[in-house]
Structure 1
Amino acid sequence: MITALRTPTGEGGVTRILLRAHKSHFRSATAAESITQRLLGSNVGNLMFSYASERLLSTSDVQIDVSKFERVDPGYINEHYDVAVVPLANAFRLPLAKGVRDMAELFEKLTIPVVILGVGAQGPISGEFQASALDVEVDRFMRAVLNRAPSVGVRGELTAKYLANLGFGDEHVEIIGCPSMFQRGLELEIVPKVDTLTKYSNISLSVSPYRQLIGPISLDHALRYPNLMYTAQDQRTLGLMLTGAYRAPYTPPADTPTTLDHPLIRDNRVRFCLDPTTWMDYLSTFDFAFGTRIHGTIAALMAGTPAVLLAHDSRTLELADYHAIPYRMLTPDDHVDAVELYEQADWKPMLTGHAERWGRMQAFLAKHQLRHVFEPGQSPDAFDAKIAAVDFAPPVQMGMRHDLKTFYELQRSVPALAREMREVEAKLSTTKAKNRSKLRRVASRVKAKLMPAR
């Protein structure tokens, strides 16, 4: 069993950490790169908890590199790193069973500690999980980690209950919430800009486009609140903003902002932030934020903006419960109105309970022999200065490069160009040089379509 960090092997005695993240938090990527290189996962919320983890762990005596943990050489990791730190979202769900299995297979080959910095299970709000094929994969995952760590950090009570049903009790599992809420350590402050909201207040809405109930809410608020903006997070909506098409393996529910004629899309009342820094900066300008996205809610709270979650599944509910984030259950019979949400919300339990939750996170890190930047003698200043030096892309918006006619043309032409690229790639193995040249020409055509010169 591997439960202790070995003597730091980095130059100068630094501890070398390999952090799971979809991209370097110091890289400024374009919208097109974010999609084609899968730099967001499927949702920019993934960057929020990895960003928070890196900021939290960036002490003066560590070197942190990031990896998606996909197609990596375990031998290389064992040789070049002292610990693997893995912040996760709702990874324990059936559609991600293969991903859970792949991580377990990787961990089984590692000879360094593995720290799971918050993982969640997806299930019914009741918390009554039914046995499924996922259980075998999660059991293997947990055993692989617990052979390399004293415990596993989970996001909330529902995940702990699910794991207890699999035989992993309190001695194996610690509830620590989400690292996103601890990126500033003990500091957490909400500063209301207004006493009450009005029709003309600046409001941010987050949307899960696959949720049927959010469609009517988005349309109703778009019509009644002229200064409301849709702060989008999912990659498919970013694709809609770039190409004019929302491409999904399902038919989006009615009234969701997934078409060019939805008022939030049509009237350029949608923004997509590609990085946590620009996301929080953007949300700091609003009077209020609400919606179904848990990390959209957390991003607003980290920006000091009052926010309320519309909880709709176990993953959103358990984080809201643990961190005492104000929420309203999203039900078919409930009328949702931003003004009422703001009036009824109470952020005091979240603020007053934060110190205890932060203490629990600190204890978890200490048990896993990880230091953090809020310890005496440490500071997040170096990390923040490095972030401040990056020229991050501004929030993406509709019409930045195209008019509506061009969007429709792109909707027709981009799939054809993508097919042509795949055909060329398939031939690379036989005539590499010739086809690489052709591939570059096709790629240039795609880039010209998506990002024409201004």
Structure 2
Amino acid sequence: MKRLCFGRQPADTRYRYHPGLPFSEGLPRSNSTSFSTLSRNFYLTSNKGNMLIGEGSCRIFDYDRNHSCMLSVHVLHDAYKGSKEAMDLLNNNFDALVLPMANEIRPNLNHASLLKVLEQIKIPVIVLGMGMQNEMEDLSVLESATVEMLRWIDEKARVFGVRGTYTEGWLKKMGFKNPTALGCPSMMLYPENILGIRAPTGKPADYRFVTAGYLQKKSVRGKQLAKFFEGQKCSYVFQDEIFLFKDELQGRDFFDDSRSQLRQSVIEPLMSEAIGARAPFDKYFYFDSVEAWRQCYGWHDIFIGDRFHGGVAALQVGLPTAILFKDLRVKELSEFFGVPHTSVDKACTMGIEAFMAEYLSEQRIAAFHDVYRTRLRNFHRHLTEAGMAMTEGEALAQMAA
């Protein structure tokens, strides 16, 4: 399959060109650094982890890039009121529809437009990375369109890839036949770097750390994370939690877009006040680009944090990485790939030196690599059997062996 439509997650902060001319592409964000502009740009990608999911999906396959595209198919459906002509654009111009997904199985999320697209699709559909937000008792908590979308995918998709064994097990318990735990496609990008990770051998003071989490007002998790990194050289990466500080940041000069860096003099007092303790981070970042994200991580040594895709960017660069979690989605992905992980509470109780000795030891890294090779091999096999060629097929097979 050479002409692919990637129909769900964005890979970068770019505007869509609504008239849609051949050879056109959406424009990048402006250089404005106002709070309102950053907020508006955020809604081009939503959760920043989506950029890594979308980018990974687009880069790991071998296909005709001049005749393929990224397209929010539900937006196309709504813009053209679900017309046959609009849906024929998909059926006539592409060999497959690839749907990189994330937390799609959760209450209060309506997939009516996507379901209507799927009902008119005649080309193969490949679903990757679908997952649950949290544990649920049964299907009754989901919107009816979400349940019908799941049934359509289960019956008709060529690949029904979910992100881990929790999601696969729950769906099968609900009567679905074909969900397969394949992990998140973002974890299939730069496998050579991931498999090249080595355990740190020094003390915490020898390293520069990078972390991500939930620095929010009155946040217990944020306060725990800050305490964990007390006395260390550590950078903090914001995702959507930066927008909880609208009143404090509106109208202020607080962001250097060229460096993707927030001004220390503005942010540090806000964070210290928010968590009720001194924030120990000496640099703060916020990314609208996955390339900038990875470049920044490249001059750090270790990632330990409370955001799974913040950790994925670190793994892609080859940093020793450990994930702290408090919810199912992070726990599921960490367990599935064998990434060293534990609860935020336990990490904070241990302290950073004991944590590193246990969770970033040679044995833990070796165990992670063993699991990762299995997941890499399984992903490669399922997707090639479905007709999708990998960009580094032979090399990938050797790495996964």
**Structure 1 length as normaliser, TM-score?**
0.67
Q: Which residue of 1 aligns with 2:117?
A: 106
Aligned equivalents of 1:208, 1:372: Cα separation in 2:
35
CA distance change for structure 1 residues 129 and 326 in 2, over 3 Å: closer, same or farther?
farther
Q: In the alignment, does 2:249 pair up with 1:244?
A: yes
Could you tell me which of 181, 204, 221 is aligned with 1:198?
Answer: 204
Structure 1 pair 294/24, CA: closer, same or farther in 2 (3 Å)? Answer: closer
The residue that corresponds to 2:260 in the other structure is none
| Residue 338 to residue 221, structure 1, CA distance change in 2 (3 Å) | same
**Which residue identity is paired with 2:338?**
A
In the TM superposition, residue 241 of structure 1 has moved relative to its aligned partner by: 8.8
Q: CA, structure 1 residues 196+259, in 2 after alignment: closer, same or farther (shift >3 Å)?
A: closer
Mapped to 2, the partners of 1:216 and 1:239 lie a distance apart of 16
Post-superposition offset of 1:269? 2.2
More helix by share: 2
- Give the partner amino acid of 1:272: Y
Contact 1:115 1:149 in 2 (8 A): yes
- Tell me what 1:120 maps to: 131
Equivalent in the alignment of 2:227: 220
Alignment of 1:55-70 (within 5 A): 55-59=59-63, 63-70=67-74
- The counterpart of 1:368, out of the listed 386, 394, 398, is 386
- Quote how far apart the aligned CAs of 1:183 are: 1.0
Structure 2 SS opposite 1:71: helix
**From 86, 90, 113, the counterpart of 2:103:** 90
Q: Which amino acid aligns with 1:101?
A: A
Q: Is residue 332 of structure 2 the alignment partner of residue 303 of structure 1? A: no
**Cα distance in 2 between the residues matched to 1:204 and 1:242:** 27
In the TM superposition, residue 67 of structure 1 has moved relative to its aligned partner by 1.9
Secondary structure of 1:237's match? helix
8 A contact 2:229–2:352 mirrored in 1: no
Return the letter of the residue paired with 1:313.
D
* Pair 35,148 (structure 1): closer, same or farther in 2 beyond 3 Å: farther
CA distance in 1, matches of 2:100, 2:155: 18
Q: Is the 8 A contact 1:57 1:373 kept in 2?
A: yes
> Paired residue for 2:339, among 319, 325, 342?
325
Tell me the matched-pair count: 347
Q: Which moved more, 1:213-222 or 1:360-369?
A: 213-222
Cα distance in 1 for residues equivalent to 2:211 and 2:114: 34
User: Is the 2:74–2:117 contact (alpha carbons within 8 Å) kept by the matching residues of 1?
Assistant: no
Among candidates 130, 150, 153, match of residue 145 of structure 1: 153
Whether the 8 Å CA contact 1:23–1:68 is kept in 2: the answer is no
Per the TM alignment, residue 290 of structure 1 is displaced from its structure 2 partner at its CA by: 1.0
Q: 1:366 to 1:55 in 2, by over 3 A?
A: same
Counterparts of 2:356 and 2:282, CA distance in 1: 25
Distance (whole Å) between structure 1 residues aligned to residue 206 and residue 125 of structure 2? 49
CA-to-partner distance for each residue in 1:154-204, whole Å, 9 max, x for gaps?
Answer: 0011101221122113xx111101111111356633444841333463111
Equivalence for 1:17: 5
Confirm or deny: 8 A CA contact 1:221 1:228 kept in the other structure.
no
- Find 2:170's aligned residue among 158, 162, 177: 162
What's the CA shift for 1:131? 4.7
1:431 matched to which residue of 2?
A: none
CA distance in structure 2 between the partners assigned to 1:260 and 1:241 by the alignment: 15
Output the CA distance in 2 between the equivalents of 1:82 and 1:230.
42
**Percent identity over the alignment?**
18
The equivalent residue for 1:435 is none
Match of 2:94 among 68, 74, 81: 81
Native 8 Å contact 1:18 1:84 kept in 2: yes
Residue 55 of structure 1, CA deviation: 0.8
Match runs of 1:380-399 below 5 Å: none
Asked if 2 retains the 8 angstrom alpha-carbon contact of 1:290 and 1:338, the reply is no
Query: Which residues in structure 2 correspond to 1:349-364 (within 5 Å)?
Result: 349-364=367-382
Contact 1:19–1:64 under 8 Å retained in 2: no
What is the rounded CA distance, in whole Å, between the counterparts of 2:267 and 2:142 in structure 1? 31
Match for 1:283: what amino acid?
Answer: Y
The match for 2:271 is 262
Task: Give the deviation of 1:284 after TM superposition.
Answer: 2.1
Change beyond 3 A, Cα 1:261–1:187: closer
The root-mean-square deviation of aligned C-alpha atoms, in Å, is 3.4
SS in 1 for 2:222: helix
Aligned to 1:314: 328
CA distance in 2, matches of 1:24, 1:63: 19
User: Which of structures 1 and 2 has the bigger CA Rg?
Assistant: 1
Q: Secondary structure at the match of 2:175?
A: coil
Amino acid across the alignment from 1:129? E
Structure 2 CA distance for aligned equivalents of residues 353 and 267 of structure 1 = 33
Structure-1 separation of matches of 2:200 and 2:345? 28
Instruction: Rate the CA distance shift 1:364–1:242 in 2: closer, same or farther, 3 A.
Output: farther
In structure 1, the partner of 2:303 is 289
Q: For residues 67 and 192 of structure 1, what CA distance do their matches in structure 2 show?
A: 38
Q: Tell me which amino acid in the other structure corresponds to 1:22.
A: P
In structure 2, the CA distance between the partners of 1:166 and 1:240, relative to structure 1 (3 Å rule), is same
Deviations 1:357-404 (A, max 9, x none): 1121112212321111012599xxxxxxxxxxxxxxxxxxxxxxxxxx
Cross-structure match for 1:72: 76
CA deviations on 1:62-106 (whole Å, 9 max, x unpaired) are 7331123342143322232221111111111113x21x3332222
Instruction: Quote the Cα distance in structure 2 between the aligned partners of 1:185 and 1:242.
Output: 42
